[in-house]
Structure 1
Amino acid sequence: MASMARGAKRRHAVISKKMLILFSASLSCVVVLVIFSLFRFHSPKPPISISISRVVFDGPPKIAFLFLVRRNLPLDFLWDAFFQNGDVSRFSIYVHSAPGFVLDESTTRSQLFYGRQISNSIQVLWGESSMIQAERLLLAAALEDHANQRFVLLSDSCVPLYNFSYVYNYLMVSPRSFVDSFLDAKEGRYNPKMSTKIPREKWRKGSQWITVVRKHAEVIVDDDVIFSVFKKYCKRRPPIDTSKGKLNLKLQKQHNCIPDEHYVQTLLAMHDLEGELERRTLTYTLWNQSTTKMENKGWHPITFGYSNASPQRIKEIKGINHVYYETEYRIEWCHTNSTSVPCFLFARKFSQGAAMRLLSQEVVNHFEVSALLATPT
């Protein structure tokens, strides 16, 4: 009987020990679940995900020149002369052209552009979100090279106003991005349907032609939220079609939003990064403001030809030292690190004849005109 009692006691002790272990395990699970629930429902969640790379690179920092073009580069001969003045270890070239277009000896005069087109290009339409998507694709391609520290967006009609060394030093001495950005108070481009993601006070307008530091380039590429809002709500108004009668009047009351004039500016404002910007573009554009019937025809950039790309005209552009923003009553004096500098490093829109004249003036580099003979058309 005594042995049976001792056996029963041992069994009871084992059962009690197992029950204690099970209870402790259950209690631990409950605590973990409570902590997880608190973290899940009470931790702040950022509205936009950003992944800033911290990779350290060796060698000199580079400028990535990003060309957003229709097909080829009609002013490639001028840019070739510009890059010849620079060290190849200090610049990169990326081109977004029509899908399938290849830059080679049959399509460009400059070997520097051979194979520089990105492989995932898309069909781009003016005034559509495809324009800003193409910009994002260029930035994404350039970000793969960690030596690229400045990113300059250019069109196929842009020209440099200085030689490479001047442009390089101008950009590298400043830790800021150059993004033309101002309050869009007068035009009806903001769509109230954006308000859940983009508050009205963060809506900005400015030039498409930006120069950004690597941190800001990554913000643009990483963005999904603001870009999705633009794709859905920022669309240009359809052209006037009198054949549609009253329907045409209704269509013309729609918001007329041009994505590439708002996206980067608004995105950086949403991230409270305007304090890290020089809020001006580095690309000069002369706008035709003589239009009288703005409902039928908007302002458009004037194209410089051979005759109006004179040394005096170029000197005037290079002498501009401030920009006035009417909607903010703001004068933006052009500085880098508190040093007064010319406002513009580039200009548009320039014809081939105008670009030839810049070469003859040796604006970007010494150049022999005969070098253009027997080259691709």
Structure 2
Amino acid sequence: MAARTVKRRHVSSRLSCKLFIVFTVSIFCVVVLVTAVRRNVPLDFLWGAFFQNGDVSNFSIYVHSTPGFVLDESTTRSHFFYGRQLTNSIQVLWGESSMIQAERLLLSAALEDPANQRFVLLSDSCVPLYNFSYVYNYIMVSPRSFVDSFLDAKEGRYNPRMSPKIPREKWRKGSQWVTLVRNHAEVIVDDEVIFSVFKRYCKRRPPIDIRKGKLNLKLQKQHNCIPDEHYVQTLLALHGLEGELERRTVTYTLWNQSATKTDNKGWHPITFSYANAGPRKIKEIKDISHVYYETEYRTEWCHSNSTSVPCFLFARKFSRGAAMRLLSDGVIDHFELSALLGNE
């Protein structure tokens, strides 16, 4: 049985419970977060194949994209995405509170449909590892949210000025790629107090600028807080909801752990290419059965509704070539690749 070590200090009846996917361009209820200007949704052909095998009454798609971006025949090959972008999207910058504001906008839009009962936040570089039916049942059968959440005791991201609204013992860290039950999504959308604290005190440390000389020493003493790695986890902890969570994400990320203390870029996720997205690697990801959180000395065995399951349903970050290989290798299901991609 395989395990993943986290070293970062880091189904229902047809009474129509929909799975909401939010992508960052958003999908299940899928919520997709696309935060940069793009000509298209790069992996739309893979997601189109994924949704093709799902009942359209069982999922909704919401996309947060750069303001003005429209999903239509000219920007996506998949009709599932047509017109699914938010009309009130904002400009988003990595490492700033605008990222969690975009997530809140996605969830708010999805909550307007009472049929949406599960909310999956994904990015446009995410891929599914199983077909629709498996993913739907895995998530819908669980009464819990899947939220990667652990104590952040070894990093200097917590700003004491956040207290007393956010006491140190409630400060959490984890992946932003969460899967939520409806009442937890409502907690996030209804929050104004903690979000305001994050906007004021959780900010990314500015990069080193050689033109600033000795001023860099002062700047590098600032708290280096990445809002989207803390907000949902900390908010749910403050509401006493951790007992209602599977404290893990269902989205796999492979981190580059080679950075040294002098590397100002730090760790970053590795992008899978055609060459390293073969069947052996995908099977390795699918075989992961538990996650170890070293800051808590905790092993999180992966369950859905008390049943042992593989840990991950999705993975990131995947290039277009890597996604094409998943299709051709039949990871999602067997599809005619040429028919999905069209003539190029």
Superposition TM-score, scaled by structure 2 size: 0.91
Which residue of structure 2 aligns with residue 65 of structure 1? 30
Which residue of structure 1 aligns with residue 333 of structure 2? 365
SS in 1 for 2:288: coil
Query: What is the alpha-carbon distance in structure 1 between the residues aligned to residue 212 and residue 262 of structure 2?
Result: 20
SS in 2 for 1:328: coil
- 1:294 deviates by 4.3
Which residue of structure 2 aligns with residue 220 of structure 1? 188
- Give CA-to-partner distance per residue, 1:145-173, whole Å, 9 cap, x none: 10000000000100000000000000011
**2:32 corresponds to which letter in structure 1?**
F
SS in 2 for 1:131: helix
Which residue of structure 2 aligns with residue 47 of structure 1? none
Whether the 8 Å CA contact 2:260–2:266 is kept in 1: the answer is no
**Larger relative contact order, structure 1 or 2 (CA cutoff 8 Å, min sep 6):** 2
Q: Write out aligned runs for 1:8-87 (5 A).
A: 59-63=15-19, 64-69=29-34, 70=36, 71=38, 72-87=40-55
Query: What is the alpha-carbon distance in structure 1 between the residues aligned to residue 187 and residue 152 of structure 2?
Result: 22
SS in 2 for 1:95: strand
- Give CA-to-partner distance per residue, 1:295-349, whole Å, 9 cap, x none: 4220000000001001010000000000000100000000112211000000000
Matched, 1:307 2:272: no
**1:61 corresponds to which letter in structure 2?**
C
Which residue of structure 2 aligns with residue 374 of structure 1? 343
Gaps of 5+ in 2: 1-12, 20-28
Gaps of 5+ in 1: 1-56
**2:145 corresponds to which letter in structure 1?**
S
SS in 1 for 2:295: helix
Which residue of structure 2 aligns with residue 160 of structure 1? 128
Indicate the structure (1 or 2) with the bigger Cα radius of gyration: 1
Superposition TM-score, scaled by structure 1 size: 0.83
**1:67 corresponds to which letter in structure 2?**
V
How many residues align? The count is 319
**2:55 corresponds to which letter in structure 1?**
D
Query: What is the alpha-carbon distance in structure 1 between the residues aligned to residue 187 and residue 197 of structure 2?
Result: 16
Query: What is the alpha-carbon distance in structure 1 between the residues aligned to residue 263 and residue 224 of structure 2?
Result: 11
Matched, 1:131 2:88: no
**2:116 corresponds to which letter in structure 1?**
N
- Give CA-to-partner distance per residue, 1:338-374, whole Å, 9 cap, x none: 2110000000000000000000111112211212123
- 1:221 deviates by 0.1
Higher strand proportion = 2
- 1:208 deviates by 0.6
Whether the 8 Å CA contact 1:85–1:365 is kept in 2: the answer is no
SS in 1 for 2:41: coil
**1:66 corresponds to which letter in structure 2?**
V
Matched, 1:288 2:253: no
**1:68 corresponds to which letter in structure 2?**
L
